[in-house]
Structure formats: C-alpha cells, structure tokens
Amino acid sequence: MAVVVRRKPSDVVWSDIDHRFITDSQGNIKTVNNIDSVITSMDNIMTTYHGERVMLPQFASRMRDLLFEPINEDMMGFLATEVKNVIESWDNRVKVIAVSTSADPDKGYVQMDIEFAVKGFQGAFTYTKKFT
C-alpha cells in the first residue's frame, strides 16, 4: 500500500530561480518554492525551443512556433492539447486538469489559463501565460 504525503504550502519541497528573473530587496535573483517552482518549470518548458537546451536538445515545446500560425478555433484547441502534453511529458509532478485559451490577433497575443494539480499538494492551481 502506497502512502501519499500531503504537504502544507509552507513546507519547502522544491526551489528554483524565479522565471521572471526579478531581484529581491538585496539585489539577488529571486527564488521561488513549491508551486511557484512548478510554475517556473512549466514556463521553461513552454518557452524553450527544440535544440536550445544544452545536453538535452529534445527538451522543448513548439509553442513559440505555433503562435505564428493563423489563429482560429482549431489552432486554439491544438495549442491547448500541446500545452497539456508537453508539460506532462517533461514535469512528472504536474497533472494538467484544463487549459483554456483566448487570443487577440490584432494585438498579437494568445493567453492560456492552465489549471493543474501537483503531486503531494492538495487542490488545484492556476497559471496564466500570455504569449506575445
């Protein structure tokens, strides 16, 4: 029988550099923990081109390439599926529950609201990513 540990948000399980590369009050690059660390991972996965990561060239998504395709309902569905598949392929902590998409081609952006669960943490979380 497997024992599932449910963590409190205050327990530090994972830590990473904030994907926004902002600094803290002392001028150091800010770090993030737990769910924010998972969000950083998801952001890295979605914005990395194939071949861009040294020693692991297959780590990537096609998101930035797909954004230059004509935006229609079929493409939005394809983008949502791509996000779910690529995140779950590269980060085994994450289960994507739903991806909703919206776009404004005249302003040149696609926005995705990603609802996800993280192994070891209770509840669902949301991350909004805007591609421009």
* Structural domain includes residue 1: no
Instruction: Tell me the DSSP string of the chain.
Output: -PPPPPBPTTS---EEE-TT--B-TTSSBPEEEHHHHHHHHHHHHHHPPTT-STT-TT---SHHHHTTS---HHHHHHHHHHHHHHHHHH-TTEEEEEEEEEEETTTTEEEEEEEEEETTB-S-EEEEEEE-
Per-residue pLDDT tens digits of the chain, which is 132 residues long:
444 445 555 677 888 888 788 898 899 999 988 999 999 999 999 999 888 888 988 998 988 788 778 888 898 999 999 999 999 999 999 999 999 999 987 888 899 999 999 998 889 999 999 988
Task: Evaluate whether residue 103 is within a structural domain.
Answer: yes
Q: Which CATH number is 32's domain given?
A: 3.10.450.40
Please tell me the total count of domains within the chain: 1
Q: Name the helix (H) or strand (E) containing 29.
A: none
**Structural domain of 53:** 15-131
